[in-house]
């Protein structure tokens, strides 16, 4: 049997474009006499469709699209993903389904059993879980169909409260009793740098456990804050990775089933990437798709001469092209000459348009207006925040006038502890590096400069500073970022308590201070722009904390 995998970039809700891409790949497969072509989860509508699923007309259009696709599947078997109507009288309205198309019709529907409702997932909100298991019998082979989470019964369970597994039953165990010859896995698993190897291991161990080859198709591209890396996998019956499709690009590959099950064919070199490289590529794709899928073309960035805005500018240029990125350099009396020079140098290195607008006159005007109100009170964060908000106003004015979308440049470390200004440096349509800790931002800067200096060395070597008062340094208010990020990672990604973090040797008073800052800053993050997700636990939909909680 000749099997093809189609790893595509879907646009949520654009059923016409998605259907067109699917049909083009079916026709391509037909030209190569492919027997079975597999697409990813929810390929008809894109993943995740969220509350679009509450509209009956949307689901009806999805099914009409699937039926239209089926009509060209005369001499080929095709598996696509789509929402379908739950025909039973009880339960949720819909199923998350895989549809097998052949002989010009929808031959069978296979529904997802395990519906994730953790982190960014909320599938049980919409779908009824399946309790039926059946195979596709096609051209002398029996094919088991598993949709994403149905493959993940044996995943590692963290913060398990004593549990061994995340779910109470394994769909694969049920399917394997039917003795399939292979598994077609339709998935939509978003990128997280630290999970690439773990995902591969889940699929590899499944193939090894059950002794059948797995063909896993992931989608690629960014939808909202989620980035899908592709990297679809073929694993043979011994649990050996036979091949992996490319990361962060669409791909189409064809395999002979007999070759996959022949272990002598193993040994294909995988396109593994460094985690910093992968994070960089993911963010480029995240920015690119955010603009393309929303119909935007141009971006504006506030260049401060600091590391965060520098890395964000490089990402924007890689995603959109240098002609579509402009920078505003907005110095005040506290901005060092070195920062201004480095911001100018970076803009020239990237060949982007830039404008320098000094904000001191506006700052003096604000101070003058507020002087009677603030009479007798010392200067504090209020005056610092005024400068950040002046810059935001200028950036947003530029955005409105010229149609450039403002990109936010705050990093995860600052967002975590509230070292940001509401309606100031937190402004923007998209938070590009809001899920990247400061230490990783520096690693990305070095990666950017690995062939030649793009980000000026002065930006890399200068002590981090918001430059909102005389001789200000981030270290005046925060511990060194290496120490800060270690504590933040344990608290945010690993869900460890203060007591557990202290046992790692961290200073107890510092741990208490940092955790308090994280908790008190939740109201700020609630008003942040969407954050491109590149970790296992990003701020936003995947981390839901009460604003008024006493922790």
89 is a catalytic site residue: no
Marked catalytic residue, from 41, 123, 128, 414: 41
Provide mean pLDDT across the span 466-482. 86
For the chain, what's the residue count?
551
Phi-psi region of 231 (alpha: psi -120 to 50; beta: other; left: phi over 0): left
200 is a catalytic site residue: no
CATH fold for the domain made of 2-264: Nitrilase/N-carbamoyl-D-aminoacid amidohydrolase (3.60.110)
Question: Which pLDDT score is estimated for 266?
Answer: 47
| Gap between the Cα atoms of 434 and 283, Å rounded | 11
Q: Does residue 136 register a pLDDT over 60? A: yes
| Gap between the Cα atoms of 254 and 375, Å rounded | 75
pLDDT band with cut points at 50, 70 and 90 for residue 154: low
Measure the N-to-C terminal CA separation of the chain; round to a whole number of Å: 57
Q: Does residue 269 register a pLDDT over 80? A: no
The whole-model pTM stands at 0.94
Matching residue, tokens 């696709």: 69
Marked catalytic residue, from 2, 148, 288, 467: 148
pLDDT band with cut points at 50, 70 and 90 for residue 169: confident
Mean pLDDT over the full length of the chain: 94
Mention every residue, 6+ apart, whose C-beta is less than 8 A from residue 400: none
Of the chain, the percentage scoring pLDDT greater than 70 comes to: 96
Domain ranges of the chain: 2-264, 278-474+521-525, 479-520
Lowest mean pLDDT among 84-88, 267-271, 471-475: 267-271
Tens-place pLDDT, residues 171-222: 999 999 999 999 999 999 999 988 888 899 999 999 999 999 999 999 999 9
Question: Which pLDDT score is estimated for 26?
Answer: 98
Assess contact for 529 and 408: CB atoms under 8 A.
yes
DSSP letter for each residue of 7-41: E----TT-HHHHHHHHHHHHHHHHHTT-SEEE--T
Tens-place pLDDT, residues 411-460: 999 999 999 999 999 999 999 999 999 999 999 999 999 999 999 999 99
Closest CA to 167 of 116, 91, 203, 92: 116
Residue 159 phi, psi (nearest 5): 50, 50
Tokens of 194: 């630290």
pLDDT band with cut points at 50, 70 and 90 for residue 469: confident
Question: Which pLDDT score is estimated for 160?
Answer: 55
What does the radius of gyration of the chain's CA atoms come to, in whole angstroms? 26
Q: 211-241: string of b/e by CB count within 10 Å (b at 16+)?
A: ebbbbbbbbbbbbbbbbbbbbbbbbbbebbb
Question: Which pLDDT score is estimated for 467?
Answer: 84
Assess contact for 10 and 21: CB atoms under 8 A.
yes
| Gap between the Cα atoms of 381 and 399, Å rounded | 27
Tokens of 225: 């804050």
Tens-place pLDDT, residues 75-132: 999 999 999 999 998 899 999 999 999 999 999 999 999 999 989 999 999 999 999 9
Mention every residue, 6+ apart, whose C-beta is less than 8 A from residue 223: 10, 11, 12, 46, 47, 48, 289, 293
Q: Does residue 505 register a pLDDT over 50? A: yes
pLDDT band with cut points at 50, 70 and 90 for residue 157: low
Strand segments (E) across 362-434: 405-408, 430-431
Marked catalytic residue, from 2, 112, 288, 345: 112
Q: Does residue 538 register a pLDDT over 60? A: yes
Q: Can you state the angle between helices 307-320 and 438-448, rounded to 10 degrees? A: 50
Question: Which pLDDT score is estimated for 195?
Answer: 87
- 503 CB neighbour count, 10 Å cutoff: 11
Provide mean pLDDT across the span 346-360. 98
Closest CA to 434 of 410, 418, 405: 410
**CATH-assigned architecture of domain 278-474+521-525:** 3-Layer(aba) Sandwich (3.40)
Question: Which pLDDT score is estimated for 265?
Answer: 45
Question: Which pLDDT score is estimated for 77?
Answer: 98
41 is a catalytic site residue: yes
Mention every residue, 6+ apart, whose C-beta is less than 8 A from residue 310: 303, 342, 346, 445, 455, 456, 459
pLDDT band with cut points at 50, 70 and 90 for residue 270: low
Question: Which pLDDT score is estimated for 153?
Answer: 72
């Amino acid at each position: 049997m000749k099997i093809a995998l189609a790893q595509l970039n879907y646009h949520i809700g654009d059923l016409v474009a998605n259907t067109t891409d699917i049909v083009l790949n079916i026709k391509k497969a037909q030209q190569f006499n492919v027997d079975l072509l597999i697409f990813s989860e929810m390929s008809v509508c894109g993943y995740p469709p969220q509350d679009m699923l509450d509209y009956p007309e949307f689901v009806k259009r999805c099914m009409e699209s699937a039926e239209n696709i089926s009509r060209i599947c005369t001499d080929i078997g095709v598996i696509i993903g789509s929402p379908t109507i739950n025909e039973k009288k009880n339960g949720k309205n819909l199923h998350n389904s895989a549809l097998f198309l052949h002989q010009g019709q929808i031959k069978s529907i296979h529904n997802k059993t395990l519906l994730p409702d953790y982190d960014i997932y909320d599938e049980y909100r919409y779908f009824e879980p399946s309790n039926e298991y059946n195979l596709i019998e096609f051209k002398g082979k029996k094919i088991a169909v598993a949709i994403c989470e149905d493959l993940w019964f044996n995943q590692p369970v963290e913060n398990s409260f004593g549990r061994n597994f995340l779910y109470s039953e394994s769909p694969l165990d049920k399917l394997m009793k039917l003795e399939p010859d292979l598994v077609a896995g339709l998935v939509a698993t978003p990128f997280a740098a630290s999970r690439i190897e773990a995902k591969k291991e889940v699929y590899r161990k499944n193939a090894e456990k059950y002794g059948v080859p797995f063909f896993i198709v992931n989608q690629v591209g960014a939808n909202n804050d989620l980035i899908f890396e592709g990297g679809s996998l073929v694993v043979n019956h011994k649990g050996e990775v036979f091949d992996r499709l490319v990361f962060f690009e669409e791909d189409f590959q064809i395999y002979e089933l007999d070759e996959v099950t022949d272990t002598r064919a193993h040994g294909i070199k995988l396109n593994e990437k460094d985690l910093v490289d992968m994070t960089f590529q993911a963010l480029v794709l995240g920015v690119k798709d955010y603009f393309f899928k929303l119909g935007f073309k141009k971006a504006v960035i506030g260049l401060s001469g600091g590391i965060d805005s520098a890395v964000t500018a490089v990402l924007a240029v890689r995603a959109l092209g240098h002609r579509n990125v402009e920078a505003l350099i907005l110095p005040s009396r506290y901005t060092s000459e070195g920062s201004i020079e480095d911001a100018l140098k970076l803009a020239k290195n990237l060949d982007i348009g830039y404008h320098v607008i000094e904000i001191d006159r506006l700052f003096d005007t604000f101070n003058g207006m507020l002087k009677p109100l603030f009479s007798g009170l010392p200067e504090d964060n209020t005056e610092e925040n005024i400068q950040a908000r002046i810059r935001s106003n200028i950036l947003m004015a530029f955005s409105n006038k010229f149609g450039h979308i403002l990109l936010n440049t705050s990093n995860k470390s600052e967002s975590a502890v509230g070292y940001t200004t509401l309606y100031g440096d937190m402004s923007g349509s998209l938070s590009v590096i809001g899920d990247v800790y400061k230490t990783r931002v520096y690693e990305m800067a070095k990666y950017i400069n690995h062939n030649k200096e793009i980000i000026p060395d002065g930006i890399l070597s200068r002590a981090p500073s918001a430059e909102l008062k005389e001789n200000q340094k981030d270290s005046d208010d925060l511990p060194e970022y290496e120490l800060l990020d270690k504590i933040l990672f344990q608290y945010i990604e690993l869900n460890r308590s203060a007591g557990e973090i202290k046992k790692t040797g961290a200073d107890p008073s510092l741990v208490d201070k940092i955790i308090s800052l994280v908790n008190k800053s939740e109201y700020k993050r609630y008003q942040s722009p969407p954050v491109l997700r590149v970790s296992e636990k990003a701020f936003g939909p995947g981390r839901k904390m009460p604003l008024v909680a006493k922790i």
